[in-house]
Amino acid sequence: MDAMAETLQDTGERVGLGELVARLKEDDDLGPQVVHHRYLPPIPARFAEPDPPLPEPLAAALERAGVERLWSHQAEGVDAARRGENVLITTPTASGKSLVFQLPVLEEAARGGSGKALFLFPPKALGQDQKTKLDALARAAALPPELTRCEIYDGDTPSAERAAIRRAFPRVVVSNPDMLHLAVLSHWSGWELFLRDLEWVVLDELHTYRGIFGSHFHHVLQRFLRLVREAKGAAGKEPAHGEPRLIASSATAENPAEFAQALTGRAFTWIHESGAPREGRHLVLLRPEASPYTSALKLFTACLEAGLKTIVFTKARRITELLYAWLGRQRPDLAARVASYRAGFLPEERRDLERIYLSGSWSGASAQGSPRNLGWSLDALSGDRNDTARETESVGRREVGARSRSCDVGELAPGDPTEQRSAPENKLVGGRR
């Protein structure tokens, strides 16, 4: 891993984003493909305090991590969770939504309570990232590890570790919908002690639960909540607020309140006004004249030459590998500092790439999916380039909102006629806070 990190070390000279966009618009190849450019000005932060304030150890831990005060939506979400409400938070990507479900759980640990939590993340990498952050916050708050233990229970977890988790359940179990179905519902009696103390169920990336997958998950969730009620009833115990509270989050869900209620059968307190600051952004929409992948490679190369950390997102594993190979043939000097991230890696290979990304020892990546689906923290990203999109929802996701950085979002309409036709109309997106 160390050798890979050294290979990926960023050595480029940084060019300002405004200057880069101006160059692109004047470029003989890419310039005519630009159908829209919009600058989104920065927005200042709005702060608030939870009522009552956070316990001193947690407040001090956040301050040491650079969070002197919570943003308004975070405080609002924590207060709603404390009141026993189901919480839906739909503020933009990288606005700190995870603190809304991390802080109530750590508050419970600080009080010495028995309440446990199940965090469900559709992508495996996102679960890894959240476990790392929760563990770091618990350590910084000097909370006893036995009170804040967090374990991942997914397809990559060895059988011996799974058995150890079931013998002594942690405060937080991080898993995914498939494991909930296969490992918990099918063997619920082995989880009875965990279900008795379950107080929170977190549904991150709520927008992924659509279509057939969402329909299946609706029924899986209803079966799971029924088992929780039966386990608590058999123990003569009721959860502190009637039944486990649901905390759902998404940066891009359409009609989120209606969707969340249809998916779960529960009403939610919807928090959508973000208090997070937003640095200035350039939103650039391009309509390729030939292959969108050729244009994506040219744009990727231009950004790397400008010294910007850049990701090209693709819909397919094959395109991810092709872009990486093409860059290697045309510009091996740049390819030496770029990684390919796609489906099919072994668990240890994924972990190595994730550690490299989070360390900042990289210049670019061709990636299948989206940053949140990959589980990558966007604070390490200074530029975001995309060769393919899923209309307004995808563009909204790519407004990366990293703390204290300007960013540049490039959108290339792919060969699909519908998306080619809608590219000019996409100039309406990007205005949400």
For the chain, the C-alpha Rg in angstroms (whole number) is: 22
| The predicted structure's pLDDT at residue 32 | 95
**pLDDT mean for each 10 residues of the chain (433 residues):** 41 70 92 93 95 96 94 98 97 92 97 96 84 95 96 95 97 97 94 96 95 96 95 73 86 90 97 93 89 92 89 88 94 90 79 74 73 50 38 32 48 58 49 47
| The predicted structure's pLDDT at residue 8 | 42
For residues 188-204, one letter each, b for 16 or more C-beta atoms within 10 angstroms of the residue's C-beta and e for the rest, the string is beebeebbbbbbbbbbb
pTM: 0.77
| The predicted structure's pLDDT at residue 379 | 46
| The predicted structure's pLDDT at residue 374 | 54
* Residue matched to tokens 């550690």: 355
What distance in Å separates the CA atoms of residue 102 and residue 110, rounded to the nearest whole number?
Answer: 12
| The predicted structure's pLDDT at residue 352 | 82
What distance in Å separates the CA atoms of residue 374 and residue 395, rounded to the nearest whole number?
Answer: 16
Domains of the chain, earliest start first: 2-42+277-428 (3.40.50.300), 47-271 (3.40.50.300)
| The predicted structure's pLDDT at residue 166 | 97
What distance in Å separates the CA atoms of residue 282 and residue 406, rounded to the nearest whole number?
Answer: 8
What distance in Å separates the CA atoms of residue 220 and residue 137, rounded to the nearest whole number?
Answer: 31
- Tally: H helices and E strands in the chain: 19, 16
Q: At 310, which helix (H) or strand (E)?
A: strand 310-314
| The predicted structure's pLDDT at residue 6 | 41
Question: Could you give the angle at the alpha carbon of 165 between the alpha carbons of 154 and 130, nearest 5°?
Answer: 50
Which tokens belong to 49?
């305090």
DSSP H helical segments within 306-361, as ranges? 317-330, 332-335, 347-359
| The predicted structure's pLDDT at residue 281 | 87
